[in-house]
Structure 1
Amino acid sequence: MKKRWIFWWIANIIWIMLFAVGTFVVWTRKIDGAGVTQTPALKLLAFIILLMAFIFPLIIQVIWLIVNFKINSNK
């Protein structure tokens, strides 16, 4: 396996772990940092915001994947 593929997989694993930890924190906390009691609606809103924050890295990972495929097909 080439280095760029290994780095791609490592980056994906890191992003997935960060997203999983963030999701766990959002859904299990009772009170947020501002002292507001978390209702299911507020938890869903916090999760959607977290999801929006992870869309940009997802786009970068997909572009990186396409580049890896293009480079491999040229060799």
Structure 2
Amino acid sequence: MKKRWVFWWICNIFWMAIFVIGAAVVWLRDVDGAGVAQTPELKLIAFIVLLIAFILPFMIQVVWLIVNLKMGSNK
């Protein structure tokens, strides 16, 4: 495998791990940093905010995938 693919996979695993850890923290906490008790609705809102924060890295990874595929098909 070429270096760009290995690095792409490493970055994907890193972002996935960060997202899973963040989602676990959001879902498993009983009280947030402000001391507010977390209801399922508030946890869902916090999860949606986390999803919005990960849209930019996701778009970058998709563009990077397309570039890798195009560069691989030229050879």
TM-score w.r.t. length of structure 1: 0.98
| Corresponding residue of 1:36 | 36
Find the counterpart in structure 1 of residue 69 from structure 2: 69
Write out per-residue CA displacement over residues 23-73 of structure 1, whole angstroms, 9 at most, x where no aligned residue: 000000000011111010000000000000011100000000000000001
- Counting matched residue pairs gives 75
Q: Distance in 2 between matches of 1:43 and 1:14?
A: 23
Gaps of 5+ in 1: none
Q: Compute the TM-score of the two structures, normalised by the length of structure 2.
A: 0.98
RMSD: 0.4
What is the distance in 1 between the residues matched to 2:14 and 2:48? 20
- Percent of aligned positions with the same letter in both sequences? 67
Unaligned runs of 5+ in 2: none
Match of 2:35, SS state, is: coil
